[in-house]
A and B are shown apart, each in its own frame.
Chain A
Amino acid sequence: MKILVIEDEQALLESILAYFTGEGNICEHASDFAAAYEKISLYSYDCILLDLGLPGGEGLELLTKLKQLKKRDGVLIISARHSLDDKLMGLDLGADDYLVKPFHLSELKARVSAIIRRKNFDGDNVILFNEISVDVSAMKINVKGNQVILTKKEFDLLVYFLSNRNKVVTKNAMAEHLWGDEMDLSDDFDFIYTHVKNLRKKLLEAGAADYLRSVYGIGYKFGDI
């Protein structure tokens, strides 16, 4: 997939680019309003990551321009502004999602993947990973022809892992993804363990390889062995 990252904070930009590059993804970037405008008018992207506070212009204006150009690029707003107004305005102007800084890269990736899935496979929203196929809209999982029955949380977890395949995902990020970051959770994320354990067990029973690994006790990694 082709992604454009519009972000003026160099360090953050580098991290995002490093996290997204690879696995057939092409990432481009722009650090100010003019460069971003040039890129969106010249090319089409599967998803645009848009920071709202940009040197040389307001990020929301780019959304309006994008609409004027009649482009169907997916847009994810990343903003330091935790404001409901900005969020609603951004979504009104045609953004697909809104993520507040600071965020976990894994969360960003999961959201971008979701946007791209929605854009590209209208109605046929399936993730494939080796022998595992996940139909996101129907919430069905198939491993080597075997149907796997998962709870809602386990299913969300699997989709999250598949969006971040071959990456280490922290328990913190997983908890925030599954329960929302408003929850003011305790720092003890051990309850995640139960869900991961159950998911792994069900996948193994259905005949999938053991793709899940625990990493340093911080998190998990789902990917090629």
Chain B
Amino acid sequence: MKLSNRYNKANILTSIVVLVITGIIYYVVIHFILTEKLDRDLAVEENEINQYVNTFHKLPLPASYLDQQISYKTLSGIISEREFLNTIYFNPKERENEPGRSLITVVHLDGKTIEVTITKSRVESEDLIRIILLITLGITVVLLLSLLLINRFVLNRLWRPFYSTLNRMKAFEVTRMDTIEQEPTKIDEFNELNKSVNAMAERVRQDYKELKSFTDNASHEMMTPLAVINSKLDSLLQTESFTEQQGVLLEDIYHATGRLSRLHQSLLLLAKIENNLIPDFQNIELKEMVEAKSRQFQELLEKDRLILTEDLVPVEVKMSRYLADILLNNLLSNAVRHNVSGGYIHIKLDQQRLTISNSGNPGHLQTKIFDRFSKSVDSEGMGLGLAITKQICNLYGFRIEYREESGEHVFTVYFSD
């Protein structure tokens, strides 16, 4: 829920409750005051009648009163209490029934007890109450509407710098060196937010830069001693005074340094792909490339007596030639490496996908095969080949999938998601 919505909700709910309560109080109080006033008028009337009776010893004529109706009734026996009550009476002037307020009282004239009912119209006071109620309601509606409008336009405008900062933060990439620009605002909180965000971005970028240059330097520095070891090994080999046993040791050292340098190159390559530092982007004729690659693998295939079958159609994809080469290399190496002697490899290429399936041992690979340094126990690789393959696919929006069915391992690269 958005902050403004939440705020709106609380605001409007409170306003409605307060306004309704105010309306009710208004209504009750005004009603009370008006009834009180009517009652006082009726009491004044009663007084006048009493005075008239006392002075003239007769009842005033009902018709002599304009605003109110008076009726008399001679009582015998039960004497009712003096009381005020609301009634409906017929107003002869307006020729309709109207709500009224009555005072029933008793006058004594010549030993007779006469009940006097004085009725006054309540229409005007009812009208007044209705008008007051309408005005209150009107104000309520206007207030709510203006609150909504304020929230809608003013709040939205107020929050705009916040959202623009938010969007820039979302688009923030540590590898790109642009600053998070701010929308000019006079609001202190947003200015502070912008300042903090920029400071944070700067810090992140600085850390990233340092880390990157550290990695770069470390890898370059590592390459040099590795090159020295390699060259010294080559030189050592030329001295030619080794026993067979020393030869084996030398071979092991060769293997280890070879692996180390390959590992190192793979890690560098991974970092480069992740940072999208491989710029050469072109149309690649994949069919030709696959054919060239399978020729390159000929000796490896023969060694394990693997049979390679191909089902290729011309396909053009947009990617780096260098990375396309590595992608095919890794997939094919994998198919050769995790194969069985006398097995097969099948490469199928069409407009949507490249599929490489090969025979192998069932249940050979784990589910995390695309993770770095994940490899099967008997694998000779470093566990980076497929991670690199996956990264290359990610870079170009390809999707790579692996499945295994009863000893057949299938890697499929879909050229679109």
B299-342 Cβ-contact flags toward A at 8 Å (1 or 0): 11011000000000000000000100110011001000100000
Q: Is the CB of A168 within 8 A of B251?
A: no
A64-98 Cβ-contact flags toward B at 8 Å (1 or 0): 00000000000000001110110000000000000
Q: Is the CB of B228 within 8 A of A216?
A: no
Distance in angstroms between the alpha carbons of A180 and B300 in the assembled complex:
13
Q: Is the CB of B242 within 8 A of A15?
A: no
Residue of A nearest to B229 (CB): A102
Minimum CB–CB distance from B261 to chain A (whole Å) comes to: 5
Q: Is the CB of B262 within 8 A of A184?
A: yes
Q: Is the CB of A168 within 8 A of B248?
A: no
Q: Is the CB of B329 within 8 A of A184?
A: yes
Chain B contacts of A168 at CB under 8 A? 237-238, 240
Q: Is the CB of A101 within 8 A of B247?
A: no
Q: Is the CB of A191 within 8 A of B259?
A: no
Distance in angstroms between the alpha carbons of A136 and B231 in the assembled complex:
27
Q: Is the CB of B337 within 8 A of A218?
A: no
Q: Is the CB of B380 within 8 A of A186?
A: yes
Q: Is the CB of A80 within 8 A of B329?
A: no
Residue A182 is within 8 A (CB to CB) of chain B in the complex: yes
Majority secondary structure, B binding face: helix
Minimum CB–CB distance from A125 to chain B (whole Å) comes to: 25
Taking a contact as CB atoms closer than 8 A, the residue among A15, A18, A85 that contacts B279 in the complex is A85
Q: Which of A16, A80, A217, A218 has its CB near the most chain B CB atoms (within 10 A)?
A: A218
Q: Is the CB of A11 within 8 A of B238?
A: no
Chain B contacts of A25 at CB under 8 A? none
B377-417 Cβ-contact flags toward A at 8 Å (1 or 0): 00011000100000000000000000000000000000000
Within A27-67, the residues touching B (CB, 8 Å) are: 53
Q: Is the CB of B223 within 8 A of A187?
A: no
Q: Is the CB of A104 within 8 A of B230?
A: yes
Residue of A nearest to B261 (CB): A102
Residue B57 is within 8 A (CB to CB) of chain A in the complex: no
B209-239 Cβ-contact flags toward A at 8 Å (1 or 0): 0000000000010011011111110110110
Q: Is the CB of B230 within 8 A of A102?
A: yes
Interface size class of A (residues with CB under 8 A): 35 or more
Taking a contact as CB atoms closer than 8 A, the residue among B226, B228, B237, B259 that contacts A218 in the complex is B237
Within A180-201, the residues touching B (CB, 8 Å) are: 180-188, 190-191, 194-195
Residue B105 is within 8 A (CB to CB) of chain A in the complex: no
Q: Is the CB of B234 within 8 A of A12?
A: no
Q: Is the CB of A218 within 8 A of B250?
A: yes
Within B47-99, the residues touching A (CB, 8 Å) are: none
Chain A contacts of B223 at CB under 8 A? 80, 101-102
Distance in angstroms between the alpha carbons of A181 and B232 in the assembled complex:
20
Distance in angstroms between the alpha carbons of A167 and B232 in the assembled complex:
14
Q: Is the CB of B303 within 8 A of A11?
A: no
Q: Is the CB of B385 within 8 A of A182?
A: no
Residue B169 is within 8 A (CB to CB) of chain A in the complex: no
Distance in angstroms between the alpha carbons of A194 and B300 in the assembled complex:
11
Residue B258 is within 8 A (CB to CB) of chain A in the complex: yes
Distance in angstroms between the alpha carbons of A203 and B15 in the assembled complex:
103
Distance in angstroms between the alpha carbons of A153 and B296 in the assembled complex:
10
Chain A contacts of B237 at CB under 8 A? 168, 170, 215, 218-219
Q: Is the CB of B240 within 8 A of A215?
A: yes
Residue A19 is within 8 A (CB to CB) of chain B in the complex: yes
Distance in angstroms between the alpha carbons of A194 and B330 in the assembled complex:
24
Distance in angstroms between the alpha carbons of A82 and B254 in the assembled complex:
21
Q: Is the CB of A80 within 8 A of B296?
A: no
Residue B280 is within 8 A (CB to CB) of chain A in the complex: yes
Q: Is the CB of A82 within 8 A of B268?
A: yes
Q: Which of B226, B228, B232, B279 has its CB near the most chain A CB atoms (within 10 A)?
A: B228
Residue of A nearest to B385 (CB): A184
A90-120 Cβ-contact flags toward B at 8 Å (1 or 0): 0000000000111111100000000000000
Taking a contact as CB atoms closer than 8 A, the residue among A102, A105, A217 that contacts B251 in the complex is A217
Q: Which of B240, B255, B261, B299 has its CB near the most chain A CB atoms (within 10 A)?
A: B299
Chain A contacts of B206 at CB under 8 A? none
Q: Is the CB of A182 within 8 A of B329?
A: yes
Residue A129 is within 8 A (CB to CB) of chain B in the complex: no
Q: Is the CB of B230 within 8 A of A103?
A: yes
Distance in angstroms between the alpha carbons of A53 and B217 in the assembled complex:
12
Minimum CB–CB distance from B392 to chain A (whole Å) comes to: 13
15 contacts between A and B (CB under 8 A): A19-B238, A53-B220, A84-B278, A102-B257, A104-B230, A105-B230, A105-B234, A153-B299, A168-B237, A182-B329, A184-B262, A187-B255, A187-B380, A194-B299, A216-B247
Interface residues of A (CB under 8 A from B): 9, 11-12, 15-16, 18-19, 53, 80-82, 84-85, 100-106, 153, 167-168, 170, 172-173, 179-188, 190-191, 194-195, 215-219
Interface residues of B (CB under 8 A from A): 220, 223-224, 226-232, 234-235, 237-238, 240, 242, 244, 246-248, 250-251, 254-255, 257-259, 261-262, 265-266, 268-269, 278-280, 296, 299-300, 302-303, 322, 325-326, 329-330, 333, 337, 380-381, 385
Q: 9 closest Cβ contacts across the A-B interface?
A: A216-B247, A15-B231, A80-B223, A102-B227, A101-B227, A105-B234, A191-B303, A102-B230, A11-B228
Q: A191-B299, A216-B248 are in contact. List 15 more A-B contacts (CB 8 A).
A: A9-B224, A53-B220, A84-B322, A100-B265, A102-B223, A102-B229, A182-B326, A184-B262, A185-B333, A186-B381, A187-B255, A191-B300, A194-B303, A216-B251, A218-B250
